[in-house]
Structure 1
Amino acid sequence: MKKASLLMIIGSLLLLGLFKFPLWNIMLGAPQYPEPLGMNIYIDGIQGMNEFDIQNIDGLNHYIGMKTIPKPKDMWEFTVFPIVIGTMAALGVLIGVLGFFGNVGYQWFLGWLVVMTLLGILGMYDFNLWMLDYGTNLDPKAIMKLQNPDGTPMSYKPPLLGHQKMLNFDAYSYPRLGGYLMGVGMVLTLVAFLVGKRSKNIKS
C-alpha cells in the first residue's frame, strides 16, 4: 500500500505543473504567415507564443467580427481553475499520505480519479462552449461577412482537438506540457489504485 500511496502523491503533485506550463495550444498557419500565429492557454490566462501573436490574431479577428482574445478578468474560469487544480492537488497528496500510514484504503485513489476526470470533462466542455461563442457570435457590423455554400454564416470556431481548415488558415489545437503532465498524473493515480488493490488482495 505504501508504494501505491507514493504513486498517488506523485500523480497529484504533477497537477501543479499547470501553474507553470500551458494546458493547451492553438496555432494558426497561413501562406502569408511564414511563422504561424499561436496562443498558449494556461489555467489563469492566455498568452501569445511570440510577442505580437495575440495582437496579430485580434487584428485578423476584427475584420470578420470576432471578439478580442479575453483577458484573465474577462473570464471567471481563469479565477476558478487555479483554485480547483490547487485543491485537487492538495487533496490528492493528503489522500496519498493518509494511505501511506494506513488511514484510508486504495478506494480513495479511485474516488479522487473519478472526481478529477469529471472536472476535466466539464473543463473541456466549457472550453468548447467558449470557442463556439468566440467563433460564431460575430459582430454584424464586421467588415467581412462570409457565408457557407448554403447561405448560413460561416463559423470560425477553432477545433477542440486536431486540425481544421478555416478560410486560408490551418488551425491546430492540441494539449501542451501542462496538459500532458496532468494526464500522466491521472494515469499514475489509476496505477496507484490498481497497485493498492493488488496489494490488498495478496494480503487477503
Structure 2
Amino acid sequence: MKTTSSLSRILILVSALLMVSAYFTPLWQISLWAPQYPEGLNMKIWIDRLSGDVDIINGVNHYIGMKHIGQEMFPELQYLVYVFGAIIAFGVLAAILAKRWALYTYLLLLLILGLGVLVDMYLWGYDYGHNLDPSAAIKVPGMAYQPPLIGYKELLNFLAYSGPDTGGWILGASVLLAGLASFREFRAK
C-alpha cells in the first residue's frame, strides 16, 4: 500500500484539527433585514444548538404561518457532535497511518458530511417555507417563504441571507486542505 508524503500527512492532521473549531464557533447563519429591523435579525446554527434572535424571528414568522423554530426542529443537533468527533478521529488516524486509502476515505467523509448538511438544510428550508399554517394572519396567494440555501433572497419586505458562519468557513478550509493533500498524492502516483 502506498504511503502519503510528510507534507500530505501534515495537511491531513491540520485539516482534522481545524474541524475542532466546530465545537466552539457557529457553523451557519441566517440573517433578516427589514425596515422595522434595520440592524437585522440573526440566527446562528452551532453544532449542538441555536442562538441569536430566534425568539424575535419566531414572533415575526408567526404572522405568515411559519413553524416555531426550536432545537427540536433539528434532531441533527443531538448527534452532530459525535459525527464530527468520528471524522476528526479518522482524520488524525489517516495522518498517523500515512496511507493513501485513509486520506481518500477521510476526504470522502468530509465531502459526504458537507453534501449531507446542505441537502438537510435545503429540505428543512423547503418544509419551513412551504408548509404554512392556513389560519395565519397574513396570506399571500402563491407565496412561499423558503429561505435561501446560500446567498440572498427577498421574502416580502425582508431581505434574507443564509451562509456559512465562522465555523463553516473554517470547515471549508479543512476540506480544501484534505483536497490539496489528496490531489498531491493522486498526482504523485
TM-score of the aligned structures, taking structure 2 as reference length:
0.92
Where 1:146 maps in the other structure, the secondary structure is coil
CA distance in structure 2 between the partners assigned to 1:11 and 1:165 by the alignment: 36
The letter for the 2-side match of 1:190 is G
CA distance in structure 2 between the partners assigned to 1:34 and 1:194 by the alignment: 45
CA distance in structure 1 between the partners assigned to 2:155 and 2:124 by the alignment: 18
Q: Between Structure 1 and Structure 2, how many residues are aligned? A: 185
Q: Which runs of 5+ in 1 are unaligned?
A: 100-104
Contact 2:107 2:182 in 1 (8 A): no
Where 2:79 maps in the other structure, the secondary structure is helix
**Structure 1 segment 12-161 matched on structure 2, within 5 A:** 12-48=16-52, 53-71=53-71, 73-99=72-98, 105-147=99-141, 152=142, 154-161=143-150
CA RMSD of aligned residues (A): 1.5
Where 1:111 maps in the other structure, the secondary structure is helix
Give CA-to-partner distance per residue, 1:53-85, whole Å, 9 cap, x none.
Answer: 2221111111111111122x4432111211111
Q: After TM superposition, where is structure 1 displaced by more than 6 Å over at least 4 residues in a row? A: none
CA distance in structure 1 between the partners assigned to 2:186 and 2:94 by the alignment: 15
Task: Identify which range, 110-119 or 4-13, moves more after superposition.
Answer: 110-119
Contact 1:21 1:178 in 2 (8 A): yes
CA distance in structure 1 between the partners assigned to 2:138 and 2:59 by the alignment: 13
Contact 2:32 2:42 in 1 (8 A): yes
1:181 aligns with 170
TM-score of the aligned structures, taking structure 1 as reference length:
0.85
Q: Is residue 191 of structure 1 aligned with residue 180 of structure 2?
A: yes
CA distance in structure 2 between the partners assigned to 1:158 and 1:12 by the alignment: 31
The letter for the 2-side match of 1:169 is F
Contact 1:22 1:176 in 2 (8 A): yes
Identity of aligned residues (%): 39
Contact 1:109 1:190 in 2 (8 A): no
The letter for the 2-side match of 1:24 is W
Q: Which runs of 5+ in 2 are unaligned?
A: none
